[in-house]
Structure 1
Amino acid sequence: MAQRKLSRKSSSRKALLVSLATALFKNERIETTEPKAKEARRFAEKLVTKAKKGTQHARRQVMGQLQDREAVEALFDEIAPRFADRQGGYTRIMKLGPRRGDAAPMVILELVE
């Protein structure tokens, strides 16, 4: 499945997605541009699905991706149990309108209740 390039090389793109997912798991909502939110949603939902397993192996896999102990603990201890009986669709994208400086479409990416 193709992924958006977001005008970045692969290493920068991966770092961007990791930082967006980390912020999402720590704060449970982030404000970003629409294309970034759509890619971050794909990345974050896969991590939530792994975290729902709750195994040590899953925790190590997620830690290998996120590299942030605080975000991984929040994901496994608070977020994953909340979605235990949900089959997917852990995030929501709400449109805010264009950004003032460059008219980029802005959205809020948040975890659903």
Structure 2
Amino acid sequence: MRHRCRVPELGKPADQRKALLRALSTELLRHGRITTTQARAKAVRSEVERIVTLAKDGSLAARRRALGYIYDKQLVHALFEQVQNRYGNRSGGYTRIVRTVSRRGDNAKMAIIELV
């Protein structure tokens, strides 16, 4: 029984959705802040939190799992070096979603997702 256990589909097939989430996660970790739609921000939040938790673990297996998900190898190595100083005493909640004005073309709800 999987009632109410749905994945945010974002109007895309599974392969495109996974690629979109990987790209958004990579850019969020690279720049620290991105502007996207509210639905995409909520979907990418769990992926980024999972990667930061892997980086806090710091083991070789966790590094390999992160390398399998994030596109940039140097970004993963930098993340694993810096995450203990930044999130060492925090037990979750590494991202913040701030709603902004709607997009002008199609009135989509926009949001800024950033690393805390």
The TM-score bracket by the shorter chain reads over 0.9
SS at the partner of 1:110?
A: strand
Percent of aligned pairs with the same residue?
44
Following the alignment from structure 2 to structure 1, what is the Cα–Cα distance between the partners of residues 113 and 84?
A: 17
> Which residue of 2 is the match for residue 109 of structure 1?
113
> Given the alignment, which residue of 78, 87, 90 partners 1:74?
78
Following the alignment from structure 1 to structure 2, what is the Cα–Cα distance between the partners of residues 25 and 19?
A: 10
Unaligned stretches of 5+ in structure 1? none
> Which residue of 1 is the match for residue 35 of structure 2?
31
User: How far is 1:66 from its partner?
Assistant: 1.2
- Most deviating of 78-87 and 41-50: 78-87
> Which residue of 2 is the match for residue 59 of structure 1?
63
Report the count of equivalent residues: 112
Instruction: Work out which of the two has the higher radius of gyration on C-alpha atoms and give 1 or 2.
Output: 2
> Given the alignment, which residue of 20, 24, 46 partners 1:16?
20
Structure 1 residues 56 and 81: alpha-carbon distance in aligned structure 2, compared to 1, 3 A threshold: farther
Unaligned stretches of 5+ in structure 2? none
User: How far is 1:80 from its partner?
Assistant: 4.5
Question: Are 2:86 and 1:86 aligned?
Answer: no
C-alpha RMSD over aligned residues: 1.1
Structure 1 residues 99 and 80: alpha-carbon distance in aligned structure 2, compared to 1, 3 A threshold: farther
